[in-house]
Structure 1
Amino acid sequence: MRYRHRRTVAAAALAAVAVLGLPGCSAVMGEEASLVDADSLTVGVKYDQPGLGLEGEDGEFSGFDVDVALYIARRLGVAAEDVEFVGLVSSEREEKLISGEVDMVLATYSITPARKTQVTFGGPYYVAKQDLLVRADATDIESVRDLEGRSVCQGEGSNSARRITEGLGIDVRQMDAPSYSACIDRLREGDVDAVSTDNLILAGFLAEDPEAFRFVNNPFTDEKYGVGLPYGDVRACEAVNKAVSEMYQDGTAEELLDTWFGETDLEVTTSVPQFEGCS
């Protein structure tokens, strides 16, 4: 039996947890309910990140994450017309997935140990690298070390600034904004010195306004973009990993990366990422 309604899978798992008193829903999701049985999917994506997830005036979504989601859905047996996209920001990803408002999340969603306690991740479907975007006239910023004592903007729910302060020991002034598009606005207006996040995100914004900004192109971390799935849905995770492998092997991944980022100076990776595992 296929699940036609987007909340069926998550609701079934949550109900079982409530009855059995389990700390998670892996026992249920692994055997009784899975997104691989779905007839339709609701997918959470970013709505304000050009090149990755951007909502147009007509309400349609476009970008690399959107195209990857459609590819995965097709491999799961769900037609494009049965995929509904929901726009979200970084801080909403776990909430919307756990509540069942979305079935799957592809929204520059870095796989971290903390997130893996609430979400099962397929993939990664791409390994991005954290980098910097600065104003075009900021010629004195050539690496993350040059940010000492300066202001860095990150979107709420992101770990980008903490990776600089705690991970690298560089003293920066962290400025939070509701989204990365808001960070870009602050950078343009001179309110912050840099925006730091994954290079795919930065490349998308740079492509929209190449005269205003400069891509430092000196990466300092790996960011594994995962497909967020209901916690414990191992069957879906395995199916997603198979789909991602096929996407790279048949040349689709390289084609999509060229479509969305080919006109920037970003060096993309076109080999199959090393998967995290589904257990």
Structure 2
Amino acid sequence: MKLRKASLAAAGAVALALTATACGGGGDDKGSGGDGKITIGIKIDQPGIGLKTPDGKYTGFDVDVATYIAKELGYDAKDIVFKETKSADRESAISRGDVKFIAASYSINDERLKKVDFAGPYLLAHQDVLIRADDNSIKSPADLNNKKLCSVTGSTSAKNAKEKLAPKAQLQNYGGYSECLTGLENKAVDALTTDDSILAGYASQASFQGKFKLAGFKMTNENYGIGLKKGDSDLKKKIDAALTKMVADGSWDKAVKANFGPAGYKNEPAPKIGNVVK
């Protein structure tokens, strides 16, 4: 009898442990474990979008959006763990469960939708070109042909520029936009292409003011979405609701002005959820 009771107790303990593991949100999904934290993928080298400052803080529009979403999901700011996710690593970070979701100037496109899901969009940007302030040779996208054009490995901008806009451009793929900017300043490259929102952030930095200018080409539509694991419809629904609320209560406009206002960036109105502009 004592042996049977002991066996039942052991079985109960195992069942309780398994239940605790399932409820803790652990396992392969490391983005939101049982420690009450949530890990969010962002960029950390894009002023105005996602930037890690020397004092260890995170600033930018994507950071503000991610923080708002996390709050709506039940997490305080102190419970957020921001993780750098470079352009080429975003799909892998999501599939591995390294992050719960990604807010990192992540444009929605058909190729990416095969691997991940997107909530949103939450911002409509346009591909543009940043050039040196004294450069008058680039007046249209066609002028990029035979120029040294810099972009970041894995970004849609590099592919668009080479395949559709300037097939003869000498494309230079770097690991980050800050590296491209250094190359542009040192005349190692002639232009930097990515979204106008990102370029405006760089151009507005105190150390670069007056050195660069936006060409003003609205070459593509870039619908920024929140990347998340394929098939996670529940999380997608919750994030879409959070984004809708952020626009409705004025927090979206406030974040746009705070992060892009100093650069004079003329943003598009907040897009409607599910409305991806081609």
CA contact (8 A) 2:130 2:193 kept: yes
Instruction: Give the distance between the partners of 1:64 and 1:143, measured in 2 at CA.
Output: 29
Unaligned stretches of 5+ residues in structure 2: 1-19
1:114 alignment partner AA: E
CA contact (8 A) 1:245 1:272 kept: no
Instruction: Give the distance between the partners of 1:155 and 1:167, measured in 2 at CA.
Output: 17
**Partner of 1:114: helix, strand, or coil?**
helix
2:239 alignment partner AA: V
**Residue 85 (structure 1) aligns with:** 82
When residues 239 and 9 of structure 1 are mapped into structure 2, their CA distance, relative to the original with a 3 A threshold, is farther
Instruction: Give the distance between the partners of 1:41 and 1:250, measured in 2 at CA.
Output: 24
1:63 alignment partner AA: G
2:124 alignment partner AA: V
What TM-score comes out, normalization by structure 1 length?
0.84
Residue 109 of structure 1 deviates from its aligned partner by 0.7
**Partner of 2:265: helix, strand, or coil?**
coil
1:155 alignment partner AA: V
CA contact (8 A) 1:64 1:260 kept: yes
Unaligned stretches of 5+ residues in structure 1: 12-33
Equivalent residues in 2 for 1:74-153 (5 A)?
74-153=71-150
Instruction: Give the distance between the partners of 1:9 and 1:269, measured in 2 at CA.
Output: 38
1:41 alignment partner AA: I
Residue 222 of structure 1 deviates from its aligned partner by 0.4
**Residue 271 (structure 1) aligns with:** 270
% of aligned pairs identical?
Answer: 34
**Residue 237 (structure 2) aligns with:** 238
**Residue 223 (structure 2) aligns with:** 224
From the CA coordinates, give the structure whose radius of gyration is larger: 2
What TM-score comes out, normalization by structure 2 length?
0.84
Residue 38 of structure 1 deviates from its aligned partner by 9.7
* CA RMSD between the two structures: 2.3
Residue 9 of structure 1 deviates from its aligned partner by 6.4
**Residue 257 (structure 1) aligns with:** 256
Match of 2:29 among 10, 19, 30: 10
1:79 alignment partner AA: D
**Partner of 2:204: helix, strand, or coil?**
helix
Name the count of aligned residue pairs.
253
When residues 107 and 230 of structure 1 are mapped into structure 2, their CA distance, relative to the original with a 3 A threshold, is same
CA contact (8 A) 1:39 1:77 kept: no
**Residue 203 (structure 1) aligns with:** 200
Deviates more, 1:264-273 or 1:127-136: 264-273
When residues 271 and 101 of structure 1 are mapped into structure 2, their CA distance, relative to the original with a 3 A threshold, is closer
**Residue 49 (structure 2) aligns with:** 52
